């Protein structure tokens, strides 16, 4: 693609050009200064790149960042950080355990980050790449360290990692009150979801046997057609986990719907739950069949808020909304995710 240089000297003009996605500034941009010179490079179609670079200008330049004289740095998460990461996420009652961070580090060792000041972990985030689609989650900063650029630096680091892995579209689930935080980092609100909870599962349904491991491959392919990228690594890990459950309905060797869930002694999480449009009755059978396996547990799942049929079914089983979230996307929106009845998780899409 052809590139040429333009010399300009107006900050607002730079913002305007960047927001159109065709220009990106090269070199540091003094945000508050009005009298400065900007080198802009034409690079049509590079909106993703532009957004990423915009973040980099603000927060990067090596590993160490400075705020009001105190420095912190972003580095890869290590096993030893998991306890502190759990303590941070407990502030938001996300219900994560050390194993959850270990799982993320196994899945994406170069995509989990912590912000540290001295020896203290002051923020975390995790990410995962599925070829063209990537996901960011678990973004949290120690309360007294907020509004100093730490959260943006963590998300920026995750975006850089995902881009290096070849990801074109990055998604995440945001609370309503953090939408503008992610917007400032280049994300756009895409669809509303509801995080539902059933405090004590007590519904009944006809039990089903777990998916035969020989059929896992066709489920993985089916999932890729619906989600837009292969989640083989993740689905295999859930399937083979001692806490994993997987049910599917196949016609011949073609799945029409499948569902995965995980359960501990006291809780369960359902997702992904995927179903061909028009085959929802089959999809609903899968959830009902979980009644026995999740009996007495607190169960969570995230569903598209506009899927009234799904929300109605789950209400009839005792689910209520815990909180709403907004799916936000940076990069081209994949064409059709309408067969996703429940997300895999808030942190992995």
Q: Which residues bind ligand COA (CB under 6 A)?
A: 92, 139-141, 146-152, 174-175, 177-178, 180-181, 184
Nearer to ligand COA, 149 or 349 (CB): 149
Cβ distance to ligand COA smaller for residue 140 or 216: 140
Give the residue with the Cβ less far from ligand COA, 33 or 177.
177
Which residue lies nearer to ligand COA by CB, 198 or 326? 326
3-class secondary-structure state, position 108:
coil
The pairing of beta strand 64-67 with beta strand 5-8: unpaired
- Nearest to 58, CA basis, from 147, 139, 122, 153: 153
Return the number of the residue (180 or 207) whose C-beta is nearest ligand COA: 180
- Closest approach of Cβ 180 to ligand COA, in Å? 4
E strand spans, 92-218: 112-117, 120-130, 133-141, 169-174, 188-198
Of 188 and 236, CB closest to ligand COA: 188
Task: Tell me the closest approach of the beta carbon of residue 45 to ligand COA, in angstroms.
Answer: 26
What minimum distance in Å lies between the beta carbon of 323 and ligand COA? Answer: 10
Neighbours of 61 (CB within 10 A): 10
CA separation for the pair 141, 152 (Å, rounded): 10
Q: What's the DSSP call for residue 210?
A: P
- What span, in angstroms and rounded, lies between the C-alpha atoms of 311 and 289? 17
Confirm if 300 and 317 have CB atoms less than 8 A apart. no
Question: Which parts of the chain fold into alpha helices (H)?
Answer: 11-19, 47-59, 82-90, 98-107, 150-164, 179-183, 216-227, 232-240, 280-289, 308-316
Token pair recorded at residue 331: 């990069």
Work out the number of other CB atoms within 10 angstroms of the CB of residue 185: 23
* Min separation Cβ 140 and ligand COA, Å: 4
Cα maximum dimension of the chain: 71
In angstroms, give the least distance from the CB of 32 to ligand COA: 11
Shortest CB 6 distance to ligand COA, Å? 26
| Nearest distance, CB of residue 141 and ligand COA, angstroms | 4
Comparison of 54 and 163: residue with beta carbon closer to ligand COA: 54
Rounded Cα–Cα distance for residues 70 and 75 (Å)? 17
Determine the residue with CB nearest ligand COA.
151
């Amino acid at each position: 693609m052809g590139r040429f240089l333009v010399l300009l000297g107006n900050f607002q003009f730079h913002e305007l050009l960047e927001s159109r996605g065709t220009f990106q500034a090269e070199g540091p941009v003094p945000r508050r200064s009005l009298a400065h010179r900007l080198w802009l490079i034409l690079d049509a179609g590079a909106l993703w790149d532009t957004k990423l670079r915009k973040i980099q200008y603000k927060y990067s330049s090596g590993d160490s960042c400075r705020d009001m004289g105190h420095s912190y740095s972003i580095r890869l998460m290590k096993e030893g950080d998991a306890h502190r990461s759990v303590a941070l996420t407990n502030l938001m009652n996300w219900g994560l355990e050390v194993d959850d961070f270990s799982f993320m580090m196994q899945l994406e060792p170069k995509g989990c980050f912590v912000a540290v000041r001295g020896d203290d972990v002051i923020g975390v985030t995790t990410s995962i790449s599925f070829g063209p689609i990537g996901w960011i989650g678990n973004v949290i900063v120690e309360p007294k360290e907020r509004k100093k650029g730490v959260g943006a630096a963590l998300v920026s680091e995750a975006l850089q990692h995902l881009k290096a892995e070849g990801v074109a579209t990055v998604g995440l689930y945001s609370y309503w009150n953090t939408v503008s935080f992610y917007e400032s980092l280049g994300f756009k609100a895409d669809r509303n979801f509801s995080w539902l909870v059933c405090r004590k599962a007590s519904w009944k349904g006809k039990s089903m046997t777990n998916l035969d491991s020989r059929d896992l491959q066709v489920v993985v392919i089916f999932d890729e057609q619906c989600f837009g990228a292969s989640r083989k690594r993740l689905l295999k890990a859930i399937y083979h986990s001692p806490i994993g459950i997987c049910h599917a309905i196949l016609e011949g060797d073609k799945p029409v719907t499948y569902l995965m869930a995980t359960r501990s002694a006291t809780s369960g999480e359902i997702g992904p739950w995927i179903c061909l449009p028009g085959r929802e009755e089959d999809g609903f059978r899968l959830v009902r069949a979980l009644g026995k396996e999740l009996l007495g547990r607190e169960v969570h799942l995230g569903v598209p808020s506009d899927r009234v049929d799904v929300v109605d079914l789950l209400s009839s089983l005792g689910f209520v909304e815990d909180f709403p979230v907004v799916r936000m996307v940076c990069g081209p929106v994949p064409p059709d995710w309408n067969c996703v009845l429940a997300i895999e998780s808030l942190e992995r899409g």
